[in-house]
Amino acid sequence: GDSVTQMEGPVTLSEEAFLTINCTYTATGYPSLFWYVQYPGEGLQLLLKATKADDKGSNKGFEATYRKETTSFHLEKGSVQVSDSAVYFCALSGRSGYSTLTFGKGTMLLVSP
């Protein structure tokens, strides 16, 4: 079945550091790929998405590129801020017809001033 593997956290960075959170997936067919973010005490919200190979999703300075050859969708940001501290979830939508999502386990990011 479908699965998503993302790096374990917490990831601890200083403000303005470069961020990479790795995500790889296993799926049949051609899934859509997502990054969701969960700020403390809140539900999840979509950060970015890509629906086909070589697509790049971007939002709020974050980017991720859909790499079919390596089955990866790594999240990057050039300069993190304290306000980026949150839990980040990689997900795929592969079960056709109902848009169900398969999530990774989440990676906590802690950014210090």
Does residue 86 touch another protein according to CB under 8 A? Answer: no
In the set 49, 55, 70, 72, which binds another protein (CB under 8 A)? 49
Count of residues interacting with another protein (CB under 8 A) = 24
23 has which bridge partners? 6
For residue 111, how many other CB atoms are within 10 A of its CB? 19
Closest by Cα among 49, 47, 46 to 32? 49
Query: Which region, judged by CB under 8 A, interacts with another protein, from 15-23, 30-38, 61-69, 74-82?
Result: 30-38
Closest by Cα among 87, 97, 94, 65 to 4? 94
- Interacting residues toward another protein by CB under 8 A: 32, 34, 36, 41-46, 49, 51, 89, 93, 96-106
